Amino acid sequence: MRTALELALARLRARPRLAFALLAILLALLPLLTGATLGRAWVRVLDLSLLYVMLATGLNIVVGYAGLLDLGYIAFYALGAYFYAWLASPHFGLHLPFWAILPMGAAFAGLFGVVLGAPTLRLRGDYLAIVTLGFGEIIRIFLNNLNAPVNITNGPQGINMIDPVRLDGLSFGSPVQVLGLSLAPVHLYYYLFLVLTLLLIFIAYRLQDSRLGRAWAALREDEIAAAAMGINARNVKLLAFAMGATFGGLAGGLFAAFQGFISPDSFNLWESILVVCMIVLGGMGNIPGVILGALLLTLIPEALRYLGDVQRALLGHVFVDPSDLRMLLFGLALVGMMLYRPAGLLPSRVRRREFAAVDGVAEQEQADLYDSRA
């Protein structure tokens, strides 16, 4: 017999408008419920998780759609954040409006995406990964040292006192009364991030089904065959790097406004690896899988921080540090994914067919390949 949950899910699938309405209500009430039960610190975690969803969606264009392994993606996040800080802080004495800085920062990061893509057009696989990794580290080192002879980035001290978001006289730096409810800044940023995240997801879906998205898919599967079909591999690659970098720059500007302070330490190599792991865990090329991977790798590590209190309450002493246990579980999860779900938790249909045989087709293709080699 079908369980009540299965019946409820079947009814929601049959009525997509109802499912969409329920999801919208849940997303709207989520920060209020989380703040009332777990505290505002967890609402802040929700805000950061939405930023990571934006980053993962942007990197998915480069890695999942176009098949270009980018290990320095966090550099575009940093460029967007610093661009916002330059134009909305006392560092240069500029305080431009939020609505003007954010698209400019996204375009600035997109320009650097083209700068990265241009010299790497002939590189593939591991070589491309090494070059992008170097690019990310070069950007971080530059940001860490551009404080002399002209102070551009303020070096390792970073830039502070960054202006919060201001929209039509509404400042996100102080609480706001709405319908009798007092919304803290973390709640206001949540709704802003949620709107922009949904916008980026919509753009990513439209790109996937567009002519450009199909060109990226052809390039990912076989670059030589794609070029033989008339696809301009150079332009398609540059567009992938530029579009992914634009998403990263947008998220970086939001991060700077949200934090109020940025430094090069916020954009290290681990952040790039973390975003790549989100895509691998969720399922490359599949937007729902990317969203799931970003949420899991953002929320679960925060929940594991409570393991220290649990050990102290049950055993009277903390035997395993929560940070060490978090990294151990993270590594075990990735190893398990590679062994049992190599296509990710929610793989796309294309990758599911690549990793799993359907009616013996994969085995037959493999046998034909061996026969041709013989």
- The stretch 112-141 carries a mean pLDDT of 89
Is 12's pLDDT higher than 90? no
Pick from 261, 237, 333, 258: nearest CA to 54: 258
Is 368's pLDDT higher than 50? no
**Are 142 and 50 part of one and the same domain?**
yes
| Residue with token string 């079947």 | 10
**Are 5 and 52 part of one and the same domain?**
no
Check residue 328 and give its pLDDT.
80
Pick from 248, 224, 218, 250: nearest CA to 236: 218
Domain boundary among 254, 282, 310: 282
The C-alpha atoms of residue 259 and residue 186 are separated, in whole angstroms, by 10
Check residue 355 and give its pLDDT.
63
What Rg, from alpha-carbon coordinates, does the chain have? 22
Output the average pLDDT for the chain. 85
More confident position, 22 or 49: 49
Produce one character per residue of 82-107: b if its CB has 16 or more CB atoms within 10 Å, e if not: bbbbbbbbebeeeeeebeebbebbbb
Produce one character per residue of 328-338: b if its CB has 16 or more CB atoms within 10 Å, e if not: eebeeeeeebe
Q: How confident is the model at residue 5 (pLDDT cuts 50, 70, 90)?
A: low
Pick from 88, 85, 71: nearest CA to 270: 71
> 213 lies in a domain?
yes
184: burial class by Cβ within 10 Å (0-12, 13-18, 19+)?
middle
Check residue 359 and give its pLDDT.
46
Is 365's pLDDT higher than 50? no
Residue 350: strand, helix, or coil:
helix
Is 322's pLDDT higher than 80? no
Token pair, residue 300, equals 């679960």
The C-alpha atoms of residue 241 and residue 249 are separated, in whole angstroms, by 12
Q: Tell me the per-residue pLDDT of 158-183, one tens digit each, with 9 for 90 and over.
A: 999 999 999 887 889 888 887 777 88
Is 363's pLDDT higher than 70? no
**Are 160 and 85 part of one and the same domain?**
yes
Check residue 105 and give its pLDDT.
95
Domain boundary among 241, 257, 282: 282
Are the CB atoms for 260 and 164 separated by under 8 Å? yes
Is 323's pLDDT higher than 80? no
**Are 146 and 226 part of one and the same domain?**
yes
Token pair, residue 109, equals 């990061």
Pick from 269, 315, 290, 245: nearest CA to 79: 245
> 227 lies in a domain?
yes
> 346 lies in a domain?
no
Are the CB atoms for 46 and 29 separated by under 8 Å? no
> 322 lies in a domain?
no
Q: How confident is the model at residue 373 (pLDDT cuts 50, 70, 90)?
A: very low
Helix 16-37 to helix 185-208 angle (10° resolution) is 150
Check residue 6 and give its pLDDT.
62
Is 14's pLDDT higher than 90? no
Is 366's pLDDT higher than 80? no
**How many domains does the chain divide into?**
2
> 334 lies in a domain?
no
Is 360's pLDDT higher than 70? no
Q: Tell me the per-residue pLDDT of 193-207, one tens digit each, with 9 for 90 and over.
A: 999 999 999 999 999
- The stretch 48-59 carries a mean pLDDT of 95
- The stretch 59-78 carries a mean pLDDT of 93
Q: How confident is the model at residue 2 (pLDDT cuts 50, 70, 90)?
A: low
Are the CB atoms for 252 and 109 separated by under 8 Å? yes
More confident position, 99 or 366: 99
Pick from 139, 69, 138: nearest CA to 108: 139
What share of the chain has pLDDT > 70, as a percent? 90
**Are 136 and 19 part of one and the same domain?**
no
Domain boundary among 282, 302, 320: 282
Peptide bond into 16 cis (omega under 30): no
> 49 lies in a domain?
yes
Is 17's pLDDT higher than 80? no
More confident position, 269 or 255: 255
Are the CB atoms for 158 and 95 separated by under 8 Å? no
- Residues 6 or more apart in contact with residue 140 via CB below 8 angstroms: 75, 78, 264, 267, 268, 269
- The stretch 235-249 carries a mean pLDDT of 94
Parent domain of 236: 41-282
Check residue 369 and give its pLDDT.
43
Pick from 170, 163, 143, 146: nearest CA to 88: 163
**Are 152 and 231 part of one and the same domain?**
yes
**Are 48 and 30 part of one and the same domain?**
no
The C-alpha atoms of residue 312 and residue 315 are separated, in whole angstroms, by 5
> 323 lies in a domain?
no
Lowest mean pLDDT among 44-53, 218-227, 228-237, 343-352: 343-352
CA terminus-to-terminus distance, the chain: 52
Q: How confident is the model at residue 294 (pLDDT cuts 50, 70, 90)?
A: very high
- The stretch 225-254 carries a mean pLDDT of 93
